[in-house]
Amino acid sequence: MSSVIKDPGSSGPSGTTQLVATLFAKSKPAGDTSADITPTDGRQQNVSSIPPRCPSELTTVLNTLVAPYTIQLQSALPLSPRVHQLIYTTTSPGFPPDLRNLPQLTSFERTHSLEIVLQYLPSPSDAPSTTHRTLKLAVFDLDSTLIDQEVIDELARTISITPLVAAITARAMAGELDFSASLRERVALLKGVRADVWDQLKQVVTFAEGARELCRALRRLDVKMAVLSGGFVEMAEWVKGQLGLDYVHANHLLTSPPTSTHPFPHLSGLLSPNHPIIDATQKSLLLQQIATENQIRLHESMSVGDGANDLEMLGVVGSKGGLGVAFKAKERVQTAAPNRLNSTSLTDLLYLLGYNEVEIAELVRE
């Protein structure tokens, strides 16, 4: 496979590190009539070869933003007709964590209809010496990330209280409500849902575009995978089996035997007191626990989610040089997360590891 992210130990003077900017073209800017480029054979391209949709002034913009850190362009590489990667070297030990949210950068993205994902690779002594970014652990949220639905809202639908529960879910995911308290409130409303509802829901739930393909690719790359869900273990275990994941942690619901009011086994409206609620803090702790058990460092990890309860696990990975990606996330989460990506397919996360279109096609094949 072709080299995209260079080994920092050989990419520049002693002590250098890398800033990698992956540019996703959402659509051509108004007035741009240029044709798409064809996928390359992986050879380095001069920045002037980047098509107009990724104009060369990006170099100037990024250099201006990170001027105190002595950034210089190392290479530019088209990964697909709509994805490009620019790699910069710097002698700085770091850059401001809010670099992505600087007005100049967001304005540039808007003007050129781009979305830019910035990665700061660890120091040479810790960085992976590989042709692509080394990834050993990938941790995912479940609802609205690996699957399209919020399972708790689908449970509510079976007893016709979806609007009530969904309104609370939306506020909780946006960070407007305490997650644990709002979960208990919503679970209480589910009292009376049939305990065998899960088989019914498996016919309703749909996997997010690219979820199966991404997990297939990560298995080929020997990446450990986990789902850490603020939803429920019954659905999370099923998804684990469907996608070939290694770990699952989710909330446990209690069931009640038949009663005169509900003459069938049903949800009690309570969470198990013997299991912790999988809230933001638990997700972060569980991620670190899985990494430690497998002797994986956090800069070799990726976490992906969309809700406010995912921010801690995105942040703990991002703060150590890993990939913490808010994927099609709520507005507050996009602003606060280390990185955001609003793509139609989860397979686009593979571009962040430095794989090009041809390589991704090979990784995701059945």
Active site amino acids? 141, 143
Q: Where on the phi/psi map is residue 54: left (φ > 0), alpha (ψ -120 to 50), or beta?
A: beta
Q: Count other Cβ atoms within 10 Å, centred on residue 257.
A: 10
Q: Which two three-digit tokens encode residue 187?
A: 């679970």
Q: Where on the phi/psi map is residue 4: left (φ > 0), alpha (ψ -120 to 50), or beta?
A: alpha
Q: Count other Cβ atoms within 10 Å, centred on residue 187.
A: 23
HSE of 259, CA atoms in CB hemisphere, 13 A: 12
Residue type at 146 in one-letter notation: L
Cβ proximity of 77 and 346 under 8 Å: no
CA–CA distance, 305 with 35 (Å, rounded to integer)? 34
CA–CA distance, 338 with 229 (Å, rounded to integer)? 20
H or E stretch at 334: helix 331-336
CA–CA distance, 67 with 266 (Å, rounded to integer)? 61
Residue type at 1 in one-letter notation: M
- β-strand partners of 247: 226
Cβ proximity of 300 and 137 under 8 Å: yes
Residues 6+ apart with CB under 8 A from 61: 104, 105, 108
Q: Which two three-digit tokens encode residue 65?
A: 């933003």
HSE of 191, CA atoms in CB hemisphere, 13 A: 10
Cβ proximity of 253 and 232 under 8 Å: yes
